[in-house]
Structure 1
Amino acid sequence: MYDVFKIVNWLRVRNNADMKLNENIEELTQMKAMKLLYYIQAASLVVTKKRMFDEDIVAWKYGPVVEKVHEKYKGQRAIVGEISDKDLKDYSELEEDEETSSILNSIYDIYGYSSAYDLMRQTHTEKPWQETKQNEVISDKAIENYYGEVFDVES
């Protein structure tokens, strides 16, 4: 299991690299990072049967949120900023773990180019968020059951 901020740093480094390659790529926002963390956790639960990070995901008005990450970036829209050596080290560490890298890159390739708004709308159409009361934790079981049917995973 990884520190959730290592995963956020992975997202920031990947997004920063994408922005350098394509001027049309928008900078990672806090809202988009939350939705990507949600899908990363879902994929990890489906593929590995365990969480990638320890923090719970809570159903908020605008979709799934990791409260600890929200607190760190409160008041900020874009969260990439300057990429430090530590950020690059976190990225490399996660890339070196084949299973983790596969999950992170797959989710980023599928959802990473959608807007935060589109991802918010998408999570609002999916059962785990819909069936969880606002401000309550979305259960791992609800996430795994739903996304086990959605993600195409080879056994």
Structure 2
Amino acid sequence: MHDVAAAILAETGPDSPMRLQKLLYYVQGWHLAMTGEPIFPDRIEAWRAGPVVPEVYKRHEGKREVAKWDEGDPDRLDDDRRETVRWVVARYAGFDRHQLSSMTHDEEPWRKARAGLPEEAPSSAPLSEQVMTAYFRRLTCDSETAIAQAVANARLEGMEVSAEAIEYARAVGRGALTTDEAVRLRIKELLGR
């Protein structure tokens, strides 16, 4: 984890502790999806503010900014790991710490680890690497596979997905609708308007 944190800061420059935490989560998730292996062995927990690596938190607690990570060296990462870090930092560069935290609250790995706890409730439950792998892999597959996996996951959780909702998801996948348009249309249907 030390080398990954150092590599993130080498890409971003000085950053907030919260943003570093969220980037560590995204680096772990995307690396799991792409390789099937974790990029670092440290546990990620489902805290109120989103995913947190406790070991990292202990080292920056009370700081407003993390300028560098002395315990780590980006050069110790192999090319695949360095590329994952670069790709994730570039992909999430436009989001501030609050936006990243909010995004993680909407994602399955954090929600599932918290098992229905209210957002303000404390938790140290670990995020499952298996859930992270499946979630981030769904984001890389074609739309039909993603829809089939999402429907299967909903059914595993005891929910049914309507044919209309599936059709809207397909329309989003084809680019015929935006996600917001599909949600608005589905809400209108459910309300009978």
**TM-score when scaled to structure 1?**
0.79
- The residue number in structure 1 matching 2:56 is 69
- The residue number in structure 1 matching 2:79 is 98
Q: CA distance change for structure 1 residues 151 and 78 in 2, over 3 Å: closer, same or farther? A: farther
- The residue number in structure 1 matching 2:33 is 46
Give the number of the structure whose alpha-carbon radius of gyration is greater. 2
In structure 1, give the amino acid aligned to 2:35. Answer: T
SS in 2 for 1:131: helix
Q: CA distance change for structure 1 residues 148 and 113 in 2, over 3 Å: closer, same or farther? A: same
In the TM superposition, what is the alpha-carbon distance from 1:113 to its structure 2 partner?
3.1
In the TM superposition, what is the alpha-carbon distance from 1:115 to its structure 2 partner?
0.2
* Structure-2 separation of matches of 1:93 and 1:152: 31
In the TM superposition, what is the alpha-carbon distance from 1:91 to its structure 2 partner?
2.3
Greater relative contact order, per chain length (Cα 8 Å cut-off, separation 6+): 1
> Structure 1 residue runs of 4+, over 6 Å off?
none
In the TM superposition, what is the alpha-carbon distance from 1:44 to its structure 2 partner?
1.3
* Structure-2 separation of matches of 1:131 and 1:66: 17
Structure 2: where are the runs of 5+ without partners? 115-122, 143-193
- The residue number in structure 2 matching 1:80 is 67
Structure 1: where are the runs of 5+ without partners? 17-26
**TM-score when scaled to structure 2?**
0.64
Say what the alpha-carbon RMSD is for the aligned residues: 1.9
In the TM superposition, what is the alpha-carbon distance from 1:13 to its structure 2 partner?
1.8
In structure 2, give the amino acid aligned to 1:107. Answer: V
Alignment of 1:135 with 2:124, yes or no, is: yes
Aligned length: 134
* Structure-2 separation of matches of 1:148 and 1:140: 12
In percent, how many aligned pairs have the same letter? 24
In the TM superposition, what is the alpha-carbon distance from 1:136 to its structure 2 partner?
0.1
- The residue number in structure 1 matching 2:101 is 120
